[in-house]
C-alpha cells in the first residue's frame, strides 16, 4: 500500500474497522466458541479484504472485530515492526479505525497481531495476541480429506501424526519440523500453532494472555485460552527441544546488535559470506540496546 492511498469513500463511507457489523458479529461469535473448545478450528465466513488472501487477512479480520478506539495495536511480521507486511497492516488499521493508537513496544500494546513470532517479552492478562495462520490443520500432512480430519480431531486421534514424527526420528534421529510444531491444547485438540519457531511454542503453555489464531484463506479461527495446557507432541523418551543457538565451541551466540544471549536469533549472511546473528524480535533488541547504553552512561 502506498502512503498516499485513500479508501474509496462512497456516500455511506466505511464503518469503524472496515468490516460491516454483521461480519464482526460472525467473527465474534466464532471467537467465543473457539475459546470454549480450545484448539478446535471453528469455521467462519471469511470476508474479502482489500489485500490478497495469504497476507494476513485471517489475523486482520480478528483484529478488526476485536479493536476499539481505546486499544493500542502492535503489528509484527517475523519479529519485526518494520517489515512490509506489518507496515501495511498497521497503516490499514490506522486508516480504518480512527482513534486507535499504534506502538512498537510490546508492553504498551493491548492488541498484538503477529506473523510467525510471539514477542520475547512475556505477555500479560491485559493483552491479546492474534496470530496469522496460513495452514490451520496440523493433520493435513497425513490426511488429505477435511471431512476425515474433522472426525480425527473430534476423536483426538493423532496416531498418524505421531507415526510421521516417529518416521522422522528413525530416519534423521530428530523431529525435522522447524516451525508449525503440532501442539496439543488442553489434552484434546492438536493445533498448528502457525509458523512460529519451536522457540515460541513453550510460550503458549499457561500464557496469561489469550492467543487467537486466524486463517483467512482456510476460513478458520481457533484459540489457545489463557492458563491452558499446551504441550508440543513428543514421545516419552524423546524430549521436545527448541532451536540450539550454540556455536561449534558450545558457547551461546549473542545478537550482533544488542548482545543478548536469551533471544531467538536470525542468521544473516553478508556479501562476503560472513555469518552473523541478530535478534528476530526488533522491539526486544532495541530495548536491550537502550538498557545497555543507559548502563554504560551511568
Partner 1 sequence: MKNEMTMVEADIWHPVQQQQLFRSLLDAFSYPGRIQSCTTEPSIALLSALLDGQTTLSDPQDLLDESVWPKLEARRVPYDLAAFILLDGSRAPERAPKLGTLEEPEHGATLLLRVAALHADSASELRLQLTGPGIRQPVSLGVNGLHADWIAARNDWVSDFPLGVELLLCDGQRFVALPRTTQIKIGGAA
Measured CA to CA, the distance from residue 188 to residue 159 in angstroms comes to 13
Instruction: State which residue, 31 or 196, has the beta carbon closest to partner 1.
Output: 31
109: alpha, beta or left? (left if phi > 0; alpha if psi -120 to 50)? beta
Q: What is the DSSP letter of 200?
A: G
Q: How many residues bind partner 1 (CB under 8 A)?
A: 44
Q: Does residue 238 sit in helix, strand or coil? A: strand
Q: With respect to partner 1, which residue has the nearer C-beta, 116 or 153?
A: 153
Dihedral pair phi/psi, residue 181, rounded to 5°: -75, 120
Tell me whether residue 221 or residue 254 sits nearer to partner 1 (CB atom): 221
- 3 state SS of 37: coil
Q: Classify 96 as helix, strand or coil.
A: helix
Closest approach of partner 1 to the CB of residue 96, in Å = 13
Active-site position among 17, 59, 79, 255: 255
**Which one among 7, 50, 54, 69 touches partner 1, defined by CB under 8 A?**
69
Distance separating alpha carbons of residues 146 and 282, to the nearest angstrom: 38
Is 52 a known active-site residue? no
- Burial zone of 72 (CB within 10 Å; 0-12 exposed, 13-18 middle, 19+ buried): middle
CB of 227 to partner 1, least distance (A): 5
Nearer to partner 1, 7 or 32 (CB): 32
279 is catalytic: yes
Check 17, 39, 58, 79 and give the catalytic one: 39
Give the whole-angstrom CA distance, residue 284 versus residue 120. 7
| 17 a catalytic residue | no
Taking CB under 8 A as the binding criterion, the range among 63-71, 136-144, 277-285, 286-294 that sits at the site for partner 1 is 63-71
CA distance 284 to 260: 10
270 by Cβ neighbours in 10 Å (0-12 / 13-18 / 19+) ranks as: exposed
Give the chain's radius of gyration (CA, Å).
20
Which position among 50, 52, 54, 68 is part of the footprint of partner 1 (CB under 8 A)?
68
What is the nearest approach in angstroms of partner 1 to the Cβ of residue 220? 11
Choice between 36 and 251, CB closer to partner 1: 36
CA dihedral 22, 28, 32, 38 (to 10 degrees): 120
Chain residues 148-177 in contact with partner 1, contact rule CB under 8 A: 150-151, 154-155
Please identify, using beta-carbon distances, which residue of 21 and 262 lies nearer to partner 1. Answer: 21
Phi, psi for 238 (deg, rounded to 5): -125, 110
Site for partner 1 in 212-251 (CB under 8 A): 225-229
Q: Which of 94, 101, 186, 276 binds partner 1 (CB under 8 A)?
A: 186
Provide the mask over 11-40, with x wherever binding to partner 1 is found by CB under 8 A and - wherever it is not: ----xx----xx-xxx-xxxxxxxxxxx-x
Instruction: Identify the burial level of 179 via C-beta atoms within 10 angstroms of its C-beta, where 0-12 means exposed, 13-18 middle and 19 or more buried.
Output: middle
Report the residue from 5, 82, 124, 125 that binds partner 1 according to the rule CB under 8 A: 125
What amino acid positions are annotated as catalytic residues? 39, 255, 258, 279, 285
Name the residues that contact partner 1, by CB under 8 A: 15-16, 21-22, 24-26, 28-38, 40, 42-43, 65-69, 125, 128, 147, 150-151, 154-155, 186, 188-189, 206, 208, 210, 225-229
Amino acid at each position: 500500500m502506498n502512503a498516499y492511498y485513500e479508501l474509496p469513500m462512497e456516500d455511506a463511507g466505511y464503518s469503524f474497522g472496515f468490516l460491516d457489523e454483521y461480519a464482526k458479529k460472525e467473527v465474534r461469535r466464532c471467537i467465543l466458541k473457539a475459546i470454549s473448545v480450545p484448539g478446535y478450528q471453528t469455521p467462519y465466513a471469511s470476508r474479502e479484504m482489500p489485500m490478497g488472501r495469504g497476507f494476513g487477512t485471517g489475523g486482520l479480520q480478528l483484529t478488526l472485530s476485536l479493536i476499539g478506539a481505546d486499544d493500542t495495536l502492535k503489528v509484527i511480521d517475523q519479529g519485526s515492526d518494520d517489515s512490509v507486511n506489518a507496515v501495511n497492516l498497521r497503516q490499514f488499521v490506522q486508516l480504518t479505525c480512527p482513534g486507535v493508537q499504534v506502538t512498537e513496544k510490546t508492553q504498551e500494546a493491548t492488541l498484538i497481531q503477529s506473523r510467525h513470532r510471539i514477542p520475547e517479552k512475556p505477555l500479560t492478562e491485559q493483552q491479546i495476541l492474534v496470530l496469522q495462520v496460513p495452514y490451520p490443520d496440523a493433520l493435513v500432512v497425513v490426511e488429505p480429506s477435511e471431512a476425515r480430519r474433522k472426525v480425527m480431531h473430534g476423536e483426538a486421534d493423532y496416531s498418524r501424526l505421531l507415526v510421521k514424527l516417529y518416521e522422522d526420528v528413525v530416519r534423521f534421529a530428530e523431529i525435522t519440523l522447524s516451525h508449525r510444531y503440532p501442539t496439543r491444547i488442553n489434552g484434546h485438540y492438536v493445533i498448528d500453532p502457525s509458523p512460529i519457531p519451536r522457540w515460541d511454542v513453550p510460550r503458549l503453555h499457561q500464557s496469561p494472555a489469550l492467543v487467537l489464531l486466524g486463517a483467512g484463506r482456510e476460513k478458520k479461527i481457533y484459540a489457545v485460552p489463557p492458563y491452558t495446557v499446551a504441550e508440543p507432541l513428543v514421545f516419552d523418551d524423546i524430549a521436545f527441544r527448541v532451536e540450539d543457538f550454540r556455536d561449534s565451541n558450545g558457547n551461546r551466540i549473542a545478537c550482533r546488535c544488542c548482545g543478548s544471549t536469551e533471544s531467538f536469533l536470525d542468521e544473516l549472511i553478508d556479501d562476503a559470506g560472513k555469518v552473523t546473528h541478530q535478534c528476530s524480535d526488533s522491539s526486544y533488541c532495541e530495548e536491550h540496546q537502550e538498557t545497555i547504553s543507559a548502563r554504560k552512561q551511568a
